[in-house]
C-alpha cells in the first residue's frame, strides 16, 4: 500500500479533508494530513486566502517541506486546491516521489522546474470550475499532461471548486466517489 502526504486546501484541515484521508486509510494506505494552518479553519475562500497571504507562498511551501522532512522518501503527494502547491513542489523536487494527485488545482510545472519523468501524476477538477479555468490551472494541467510521461487529467461534470470536501456546500458525492475510485486505483500501483 502507498504512503501518502495529503495537503489541505485554503480553508484548512477541514472535516471533509480528514474524511477523504480516512477513506484512503480504510483501503490500507498510510495517509498523513499535516495541518499547515496550525489548527485554523475558515468558512470562506476569502478568509482562508487572507490567512494564506499572511503566511505567504514561501512560508506555505516551507511548512509543506517541513511536513515531509521526517517522512519516508517514497511518498505519493496529494493536494487539494491550495495544497497542490506543496504537493507539486515536493513531487517535482524531493527525490523518491512515487506519484502525485492534484485535486481542484495545478500550477505550471516550470514553477518548480521540469517534471520528473519517473513521477506519474493525476489531476482532477470539475470541467466548469471557474477557479480552475480562470486562474490558469486548466492550462497548466493540460500542459503537464502533454509533458509528463505518465499523466492524466480527469474532468468531472459540474462547476464546483472544492467538490471533494464532504464538509462543504460545494461537495459532490458522485464526483468524489469517482475521484476516490480513481485515486485508489492509482495508489494501488504505487
In the DSSP assignment, the letter for residue 9 is: B
Is it the case that residue 19 has pLDDT exceeding 90? yes
CA distances from 35 to 106, 140, 186 (A): 20, 26, 24
Q: Residue 142: give its domain's CATH number.
A: 3.40.50.1820
pLDDT at 23: 97
Q: Which residues span the domain enclosing 96?
A: 3-188
pLDDT digits (tens, 9 = 90+) for 72-128: 999 999 999 999 999 999 999 999 999 999 999 999 989 999 999 899 999 999 999
Q: Is 65 exposed, middle or buried (0-12, 13-18, 19+ CB in 10 A)?
A: middle
Task: Give the phi and the psi of residue 164 in degrees, each rounded to 5.
Answer: -95, 10
Is it the case that residue 1 has pLDDT exceeding 90? no
Q: Name residues whose C-beta falls within 8 Å of residue 109's C-beta, 6 or more positions apart in sequence.
A: 88, 92, 115, 140, 143, 144, 147, 148
Overall domain count for the chain:
1
C-alpha cell at 118: 519517473
In the DSSP assignment, the letter for residue 83 is: G
pLDDT at 189: 87
Report how far residue 9's alpha carbon sits from residue 131's, in angstroms, rounded to the nearest whole number.
Answer: 13
Determine contact, residues 80/8, Cβ cutoff 8 Å.
yes
Amino acid at each position: 500500500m502507498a504512503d501518502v502526504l495529503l495537503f489541505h486546501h485554503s480553508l484548512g484541515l477541514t472535516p471533509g479533508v480528514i474524511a477523504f484521508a480516512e477513506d484512503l486509510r480504510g483501503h490500507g494506505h498510510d495517509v498523513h494530513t499535516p495541518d499547515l494552518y496550525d489548527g485554523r479553519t475558515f468558512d470562506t475562500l476569502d478568509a482562508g486566502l487572507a490567512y494564506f497571504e499572511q503566511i505567504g507562498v514561501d512560508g506555505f511551501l516551507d511548512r509543506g517541506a517541513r511536513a515531509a522532512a521526517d517522512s519516508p522518501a517514497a511518498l505519493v503527494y496529494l493536494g487539494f486546491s491550495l495544497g497542490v502547491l506543496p504537493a507539486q513542489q515536493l513531487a517535482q523536487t524531493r527525490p523518491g516521489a512515487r506519484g502525485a494527485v492534484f485535486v481542484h488545482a495545478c500550477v505550471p510545472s516550470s514553477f518548480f522546474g521540469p517534471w520528473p519523468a519517473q513521477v506519474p501524476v493525476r489531476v482532477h477538477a470539475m470541467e466548469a470550475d471557474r477557479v480552475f479555468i480562470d486562474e490558469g490551472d486548466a492550462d497548466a494541467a493540460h500542459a503537464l499532461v502533454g509533458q509528463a510521461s505518465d499523466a492524466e487529467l480527469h474532468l468531472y461534470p459540474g462547476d464546483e471548486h472544492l467538490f471533494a470536501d464532504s464538509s462543504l456546500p460545494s461537495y459532490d458525492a458522485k464526483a468524489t466517489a469517482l475521484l476516490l475510485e480513481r485515486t485508489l486505483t492509482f495508489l494501488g500501483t504505487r
